[in-house]
Amino acid sequence: MTTFQRARSEEQREIRRRVILDTAAAMLDEMPVGEVSLNELSRRVGLAKSNVLRYFESREAILLELLDQAWQEWTAGLAGPLAAGVDAQAPVGERAEQFAAAVTASLADRRVLCDLLSAQAGVLEHNVSPEVAARYKRAAVANVAELAALTRVHLPELGDAAGSLAASAIMVIGAVWTHARPSQAMLAAYAADPSLAVLRMDFAASLRQMLATLTAGTLARTAAS
């Protein structure tokens, strides 16, 4: 735990903000988004909760900023895996499958990003001001545009539809992550009745299949129009 004196300059305020963000990021490495509390964050930072709220208006505002950072880090490192995983000489159908596989593989070690994406609309975009919401959405639009640009490199047939594919892919990632992590009650139900396990999702297998289907469908609609 760090103990701070009152910040008296903009530089000191930025240091406080960075420590709060870094501490929250460290907590996300230990626990899921739903268990990150403002009380525990304040304790670890060494500030009263009211003082943490001087720098960020809510827990959700902190987590939205971390989501943006994690999203940018992912897309910044995605060009290499896509280049290695997608054969530029392959037919478009094969490239679509390879694209889905490469994106899925790139998320294997990005639990925090997937967890934050799964909480984005239902949790993180609540309990924030219109100003914070707008700032986050502007960042999200830029992140989607970056993913769309990477997509067009390997699937130029998509044209402008790469943007809608990228936006849809982000929603699918969050949704599959949520469903691939059932509650203890659901795990017990699966164990008691194995026939129910047909509904259980494996994150990587399900995401790859859904992204491939989404990509193929977008390509087909683009070709038809």
pLDDT-derived band at 13 (thresholds 50, 70, 90) equals confident
**Tens-digit pLDDT profile for residues 110-144:** 999 999 999 999 999 999 999 999 999 999 999 99
**Tens-digit pLDDT profile for residues 37-51:** 999 999 999 999 999
Phi, psi of 30 (to 5 degrees): -100, -25
* CA distances, 116 to each of 81, 102, 108, 128, 212 (Å): 22, 21, 15, 16, 23
Is the distance from CB of 106 to CB of 78 less than 8 angstroms? yes
* CA distances, 170 to each of 78, 197, 211 (Å): 14, 26, 10
Residue-range domains of the chain with CATH: 1-56 (1.10.10), 59-224 (1.10.357.10)
Q: What is the dihedral of CA 205, 211, 216, 217, to 10 degrees?
A: 120
Residue 90 has pLDDT above 70, yes or no: yes
Residue 157 has pLDDT above 80, yes or no: yes
Provide CB contacts within 8 A for 103, sequence distance 6+: 78, 82, 169, 211
pLDDT-derived band at 198 (thresholds 50, 70, 90) equals confident
Is the distance from CB of 62 to CB of 24 less than 8 angstroms? yes
Q: What is the pLDDT of residue 199?
A: 85
